[in-house]
Amino acid sequence: MEWVIETRGITREYQLGEICVRALRGVDLTVRPGEFVAVMGASGSGKSTLMNVLGCLDQPTDGEYVLEGRDVSQLSRNEYAEIRNQRIGFVFQTFNLLPRTSALENVELPLLYDHAERVRDPNGAAVAALERVGLAERMHHQPNEMSGGERQRVAIARALVNNPSIVLADEPTGNLDSRTSVEIMSVLQELNDQRITILLVTHEPDIAQYAKRIVVMRDGRLVSDRPVWDRRSAVKDLESMAGSDDLIDGRDDVRGLVGGSMSGEVRQ
């Protein structure tokens, strides 16, 4: 499969009273499996609308959206829900975790809506997803017992539990301090190294530099699409912070974020 995502002339219009708002104006975008693409643009540029369309949270007014070879432009609401549950993982700025529920139960939640029952062992899949992001020993804690970085890693684990074709991350570092933001980007880079396709919406140029490709939007159009030649390594950036006073508390130790947990080892 050459493209996991392909849009052709995607438009999205909203009617506000007598005013027609054109949020997307003929967007052509292709994403190969295993890419890491950052989508940037000022407020009102259309990047969030594009993300909603790509995540099957909204339908385009016109044009075609092909996901893994299937035209999903004009499906029913139930079909959209099935695609969201089985093929797309979402990570949001505000985490969107259930507050009085453990990390493990939060990660299991998407599997409760998988009517095809593709995952035979939901508990085991949720445990594996949390191990993957370095939270094996925090899985029974509730969100209010976790740092912001830990909560976002729970959200990433939830996005991964259904083995999606693509992870859509909408401002995943927007509510985090600079150090924790780099920690989260180290997780996303490690997952991308495992060939997980990632689309990241961000307004922060330094965060976009962790991607492999940057797409810039303005007034509902793609105005720039370029590879990242001077790509930053989140692991190296975290290592360079190691001597600073504000580095990392005990639970967010960079050495245990992802690397060891990929083979089942959880470092402290």
pLDDT tens, residue by residue, 228-258 = 999 999 999 999 887 665 444 433 443 334 4
Q: Are 114 and 152 in contact (CB under 8 A)?
A: no
Domains and CATH numbers, the chain: 5-95+166-262 (3.40.50.300)
Q: What is the pLDDT of residue 144?
A: 94
pLDDT tens track for 26-70: 999 999 999 999 999 998 899 999 999 999 999 999 999 999 999
Report the chain (268 residues): mean pLDDT per 10 consecutive residues: 92 90 96 97 92 93 94 88 90 91 94 67 91 93 94 94 92 91 95 95 95 97 96 94 55 39 32
Q: Are 139 and 127 in contact (CB under 8 A)?
A: yes
User: How many residues comprise the chain?
Assistant: 268
Q: Are 188 and 109 in contact (CB under 8 A)?
A: no
Q: Which residues of 147-170 are buried (b: 16+ CB within 10 A; e: fewer)?
A: bbbbbbbbbbbbbbbbebbbbbbb
Q: What is the pLDDT of residue 187?
A: 94
Q: How far apart are CA 180 and CA 248, in angstroms?
A: 8
